[in-house]
Amino acid sequence: MDDISFDKNTHWINYIKGVLKEYIKHGHKISGFNMVVDSNLPIGAGISSSASLEVGVTKFVEELFNLKMDKRETVEYSNSAENNFVGVNCGFMDQFAVVYGKENYVIYLNFKGLSYEYIPFDLDGNRILIINTKEERNLADTKYNERRNECNDAVKLISRIVKNKNIRSLSDVSLDLLYKLENKMNEKLFRRAKHVVTENKRVLLAKEYLLKGDVEKIGQLLFESHKSLRYDYEVSTEKLDYLVDEMSKIKGVYGGRLMGAGFGGSVISLVKKGEIDSITDIISDKYLKKFNISPEFIECSFSDGTRKVKI
């Protein structure tokens, strides 16, 4: 505990070390301990295994040493561990979802100040179906940080062109303004900014459709989101694109997109519960013939966030 340092040869242990270093940095009294980590999340599949590990460790440490922490601090410590110790400049979404999850609700989260509200999402006769491509990825080894830097560069450029210092993030940029500046921006930065600005708009529409219970329109937003991630943000892969393209042709599929940051991992889709067996059979057969790999399917529902479980 006196010398917690990053070790590239023990990849996942660094996430645990990073969390412990946060507690020490903030003056909490913790000592050494033994722990066992078990998981049913596929590693490197783009479904927040790193955030789950970080948050699980923070909850464990808080219980073990009787630390009085609020959920916001748990999120911040976990996020800082990944940003500042592991070196992945991720946002707060994954850790926040793991901590604040609520059964039968989705979280409408504004990253300016981390204000949030719960939106009811009764899946009823539908399901969230995740398809793992088996194309493992580690964000620390991808161009994830590069994309973050490109977005930051776009914000600075837009702010400078319009001479408005109040533009501090792409959430401050409207689509109309962005198109007006298209010829004044580097083509790559324009496309990166376009993805984020249109994705923000899709989130607002998703909230509207959720409140109306319009599952078909939510599904269409997922397909539109993937198209943007594929062409404007360029974080998709051949396997992810193939799955989304094939899913779009199948009865009972409302929509789908790559999950998480991309560069491999999984597709998240919204499907009819009664059609799941047919969907998985069709996709398994096609994907195996195309890539000689059998994908993994995970049916999901919404649950409460991190908590101590009595055994």
178-186 CB contacts, 8 Å cutoff, 24+ apart: 185/154, 185/157, 185/158, 185/161, 186/157
CB 256 within 8 A of CB 268: yes
State CA 58 to chain mean position distance.
19
Closest CA relative to residue 72, chosen from 103, 113, 108: 113
Q: Say how far apart CA 90 and CA 92 lie, in whole Å.
A: 7
Q: Is 94 a catalytic residue?
A: yes
Residue 101 to residues 52, 63, 91, 96, 117, Cα–Cα distance (Å) = 12, 19, 17, 8, 11
| 54 touches 89 (CB < 8 A) | no
d(CA 256, CA 248) in angstroms, rounded, equals: 8
- Catalytic residue, chosen from 94, 176, 281, 304, is 94
Residue 166 sits at φ, ψ, to 5 deg, of: -80, -10
Half-sphere exposure of 207 (CA within 13 A, CB side): 13
Active-site residues: which are they? 94
